[in-house]
């Protein structure tokens, strides 16, 4: 590659990185700005302040933000855990057992994934109020499961199909008990698929907004995205911009950490699930 | 996709396990997930169908009565509904196609050796990872804001004043935010496609004297076709249900200028309390989704089966 060509690629790379990251850098910088600085149009804050973070974590906005953070973590982790268990069984059956109608089952999962959530929110709202699930954790865990299960089954069975199941028998022939064979051979092989599925399921549940604002009304179950929705509209803060920026940063951090750690797996999980589907 | 799944009709089980009880025992591990999902999504949908046949406004207690297909007639004669449906198509198609073109361009740039490629690729995924609500807030407060927005800041040397982008171009603003978030996804998919290209074919073409553009058009693009189609279908499936971005950025306004179907249905039910009308629109959307996705998925599966 000639020097001129290489310079051109560097310029292009910089443009791409700016496209993706400059908006994010701007919101991070905004979250450290004092109220007087917010409208000054400069990239760096003139005074570096943690005030916005303390406002959402200990100040006036904490009553809205902290319970929401706790709800989101609790609800999404439980939903992810249940989705993984259920889809593990389903994926095992699809990958390992012979029976008719496998394709039908995968198609059903896909059809449910495509099903527009908005057309079932109103009856869920009515139903949940009737049976007392409105504004509770289970009231969100149940719809989140229906949101995450189709993708989980799809991804996990793509992974499970790649597992060389004969190795289990081979280990048993070599003298391992069936429990040992399962634990020492199959579990390590299945772990990456389960991990990827868990991350994708958590991502889906964490990002939900429609269920979050429709099926909750108080901090008893309101998840973070719904709380963020209230941040912008409500006039309970003097100038919500700084606090909003800080909240947006805090909300995004867990997802980014998760994905950066498991990046390679997620990319291969997405393409495996989708391409080999 | 393994052969067993592609051609279930041709499976010849070693023993006749599919008959009777044992077939069901084998299916048993599947049932919890499947039954649960179907109950949670389809039972409420039956209610939606039932609601759609009623005239029912929550603000007027006792107003609930059976009206047959009246709501559907109203839906199809409602000019707002048609406008909103058009917005949905414009928003979805526009966002998906622009994100795909940008994603493809970025993927082509990144599909070569240079120092720091891994870092750049990781950084580029970030917009996709941001919680959609936070991303919408980001665009609303940080980029499009008339007083301290980044866009006005960048454009100020060119004499752009304090344009309020979201009021002036509400639908386009939402689309820009969606494109920004979805470009990384499209880039990842097309990059996976680029990297699965057989190198010997590219090498042979180069030896035969083909130029870069000819190689791209004759070899790379056909190879990428299925990845591009997959990206478009997955993106469209997700983006047609866009709700958070519109809720956060424009509230569908001014009027219904930037509302799409999911937002309009929500607005009718939860802010207008018109349960019957909103349910009828919900049913129409489900039917439309089934029709469109059947065609789209057929296309996808066909092109993947050709390959394997």
> How far apart (Å, rounded) are the C-alpha atoms in residues B308 and B295?
20
Contact check, Cβ <8 Å, A260/B122: yes
* Burial grade of A85 (CB within 10 A; 0-12, 13-18, 19 or more): middle
Distance CA A23, CA A25 (A): 5
For residue A193, name the pLDDT band (cuts at 50, 70, 90).
confident
Q: Are B265 and B281 within 8 A, CB to CB?
A: yes
Asked if residue A203 lies in contact with residue B185, where contact means CB atoms within 8 angstroms, the answer is no
Give the model confidence (pLDDT) of B184-232 as tens digits: 889 888 888 888 777 788 888 888 888 888 888 888 888 888 888 888 8
Closest CA to A125 of A215, A218, A212, A220: A215
Could you tell me if A205 lies within 8 Å of chain B, comparing CB atoms?
no
d(CA A149, CA A216): 22
Note which residues in 128-147 of chain B have CB less than 8 A from chain A.
Answer: 129-134, 137-143, 147
User: ipTM for the complex?
Assistant: 0.81
Residue-wise pLDDT tens digits, A253-277: 877 777 777 666 655 555 554 444 3
Is the bond preceding residue B221 a cis peptide, omega within 30 degrees?
no
Gap between the Cα atoms of A146 and B40, Å rounded: 6
**Domains in chain B, please, with CATH?**
19-52 (no CATH), 71-307 (1.10.3720.10)
Residues 206-245 of B with CB under 8 A from A: 226-227, 230, 234, 237, 240-241, 243-244
Q: Which pLDDT score, from 0 to 100, does residue A37 have?
A: 74
Helices (H) and strands (E) in chain A, counts: 13, 0
Q: For residues A80 and A205, give the distance between their C-alpha atoms in angstroms, rounded to a whole number.
A: 8
Q: Which element (helix H / strand E) includes B21?
A: helix B20-27
- The pair of structure tokens assigned to B144 is 């499009």
- Contact status, residue A246 vs residue A52, Cβ threshold 8 Å: yes
The residue written with tokens 């990872």 in the block is B129
**Count of alpha carbons within 13 Å of A19, Cβ hemisphere only?**
24
CB atoms within 10 A of CB B132: 21
Q: Which residues contact A1 (CB under 8 A, 6 or more apart)?
A: A9
Question: Among the listed ranges A105-119, A203-217, B88-102, which one has the minimum average pLDDT value?
Answer: A105-119
The pLDDT, as a whole number, for residue A79 is: 95
Q: DSSP per residue over A80-143, as a string?
A: HHHHHHHHHHHHHHHHH---TTHHHHHHHHHHHHHS-THHHHHHHHHHHHHHT-TTSHHHHHHH
Residue A169: partners with Cβ closer than 8 Å, 6 or more residues away: A181
Do B234 and A92 count as a contact with CB atoms less than 8 A apart?
no
Does residue A183 surpass a pLDDT of 50?
Answer: yes
Name, in order, each residue with C-beta under 8 angstroms of B204's C-beta and a sequence gap of 6 or more: none
Is the distance from CB of B164 to CB of B146 less than 8 angstroms? yes
Q: Is A128 on the interface with B (CB under 8 A)?
A: no
- Average per-residue pLDDT for chain A: 81
Whether B290 shows a pLDDT value over 80: the answer reads: yes
Name every chain A residue with its beta carbon within 8 A of the beta carbon of B34.
90, 105, 108-109
Task: Report the pLDDT value the prediction gives residue B3, as an integer from 0 to 100.
Answer: 39
Reported as a pLDDT band with limits 50, 70 and 90, residue B11 is very low
Query: Which tokens is B82 given?
Result: 């048609």
Note whether B108 and B194 are within 8 A (CB): yes
> What digits encode the pLDDT tens for the residues A116-160?
888 889 889 989 999 999 999 999 999 999 989 988 888 888 888
Q: Which of B33, B142, B243 sits opposite A153 (nearest CB)?
A: B33
**Partner-chain contact B125 A210, CB within 8 Å:** no
Of A156, A181, A178, A179, the residue nearest A273 (C-alpha):
A156
Measured between CB atoms, does A28 come within 8 Å of chain B? Answer: no
Question: Residue B35, SS3?
Answer: helix
CB contact under 8 A, B28 and A115: no
Q: Are A84 and A201 in contact (CB under 8 A)?
A: yes
Residue with tokens 């199809």: B76
Q: What is the mean pLDDT of residues B102-125?
A: 78
CB proximity under 8 Å: A 43-82 to B = none
* Chain A partners within 8 Å of B17 (Cβ): 98-99
Question: What integer pLDDT is reported at residue A75 of this predicted model?
Answer: 95
Checking if the pLDDT of A177 tops 70, the result is yes
**Among A19, A20, A202, the residue to mutate for chain B (most B Cβ within 10 A):** A20
Phi/psi of residue A122, nearest 5 degrees: -60, -50
Q: Rounded to whole angstroms, what are the CA distances from A146 to A120, A133, A137, B64?
A: 12, 16, 15, 30
DSSP class of residue B257 equals T
The Cα–Cα gap between B99 and B235 comes to 9
Tell me if B138 and A23 make a contact (CB, 8 A cut-off): yes
Cβ(B98)–Cβ(B185) below 8 Å: no
Q: Are A90 and A153 in contact (CB under 8 A)?
A: yes
Say if residues A113 and A150 touch (Cβ distance below 8 Å).
Answer: yes
**pLDDT 10s digits, A219-244:** 888 998 888 877 654 444 456 778 88
Distance CA B127, CA B135 (A): 8
How many Å lie between the alpha carbon of B138 and the closest alpha carbon of chain A? 7
Homologous superfamily in CATH for domain A63-230: MetI-like (1.10.3720.10)
């Amino acid at each position: 590659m000639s020097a001129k060509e290489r310079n051109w690629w560097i310029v292009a790379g910089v443009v791409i990185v700016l496209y993706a990251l400059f908006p994010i850098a701007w919101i991070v910088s905004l979250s450290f700005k004092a109220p007087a600085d917010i409208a000054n149009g400069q990239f760096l804050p003139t005074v570096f302040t943690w005030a916005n973070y303390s406002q959402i974590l200990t100040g006036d906005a904490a009553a809205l933000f902290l319970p929401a953070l706790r709800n989101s973590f609790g609800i999404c982790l439980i939903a992810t855990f249940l989705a993984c268990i259920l889809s593990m069984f389903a994926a095992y059956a699809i990958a390992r057992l012979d029976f008719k109608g496998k394709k039908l089952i995968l198609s059903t999962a896909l059809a449910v994934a495509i099903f527009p959530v908005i057309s079932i929110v109103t009856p869920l709202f009515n139903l949940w109020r009737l049976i007392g699930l409105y504004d509770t954790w289970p009231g969100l865990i149940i719809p989140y499961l229906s949101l995450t299960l189709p993708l989980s089954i799809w991804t996990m069975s793509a992974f499970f199909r790649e597992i060389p199941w004969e190795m289990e028998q081979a280990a048993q022939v070599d003298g391992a008990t069936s429990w040992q064979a399962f634990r020492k051979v199959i579990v390590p092989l299945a772990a990456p698929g389960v991990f990827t599925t868990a991350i994708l399921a958590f991502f889906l549940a964490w990002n939900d907004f429609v269920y979050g604002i429709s099926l909750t009304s108080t901090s008893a179950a309101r998840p973070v995205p719904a709380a963020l929705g209230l941040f912008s509209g409500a006039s309970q803060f003097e100038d919500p911009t700084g606090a909003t920026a800080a909240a947006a940063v805090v909300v995004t951090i867990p997802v980014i950490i998760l994905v950066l750690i498991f990046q390679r797996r997620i990319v291969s999980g997405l393409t495996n699930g989708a391409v080999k589907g | 996709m393994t052969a067993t799944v592609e051609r279930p009709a041709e499976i010849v089980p070693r023993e006749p396990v599919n008959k009777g009880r044992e077939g069901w025992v084998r299916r048993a591990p599947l049932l919890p997930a499947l039954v649960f999902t179907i109950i949670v999504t389809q039972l409420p949908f039956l209610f939606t169908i039932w609601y759609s046949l009623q005239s029912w406004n929550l603000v007027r207690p006792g107003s609930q009565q059976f009206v047959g297909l009246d709501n559907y007639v109203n839906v199809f004669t409602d000019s707002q509904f048609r406008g909103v449906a058009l917005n949905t198509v414009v928003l979805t198609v526009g966002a998906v196609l622009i994100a795909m073109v940008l994603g493809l361009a970025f993927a082509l740039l990144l599909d070569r050796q240079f120092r720091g490629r891994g870092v750049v690729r990781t950084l580029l995924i970030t917009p996709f990872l941001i919680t959609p609500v936070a991303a919408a807030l980001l665009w609303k407060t940080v980029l499009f804001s008339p007083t301290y927005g980044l866009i006005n800041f960048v454009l100020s040397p060119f004499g752009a004043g304090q344009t309020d982008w979201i009021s002036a171009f509400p639908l386009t603003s939402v689309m820009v935010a969606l494109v920004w978030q979805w470009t990384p996804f499209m880039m990842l998919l097309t990059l996976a496609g680029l990297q699965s290209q057989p190198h010997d074919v590219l090498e042979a073409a180069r030896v035969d004297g083909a130029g870069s553009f000819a190689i791209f058009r004759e070899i790379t693009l056909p190879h990428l076709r299925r990845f591009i189609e997959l990206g478009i279908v997955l993106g469209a499936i997700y983006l047609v249900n866009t709700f958070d971005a519109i809720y956060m950025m424009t509230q569908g306004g001014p009027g219904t200028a930037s509302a799409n179907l999911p937002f309009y249905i929500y607005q009718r039910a939860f802010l207008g309390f018109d349960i019957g009308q909103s349910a009828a629109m919900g049913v129409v959307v489900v039917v439309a989704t089934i029709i469109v996705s059947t065609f789209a998925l057929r296309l996808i599966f066909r092109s993947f089966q050709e390959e394997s």
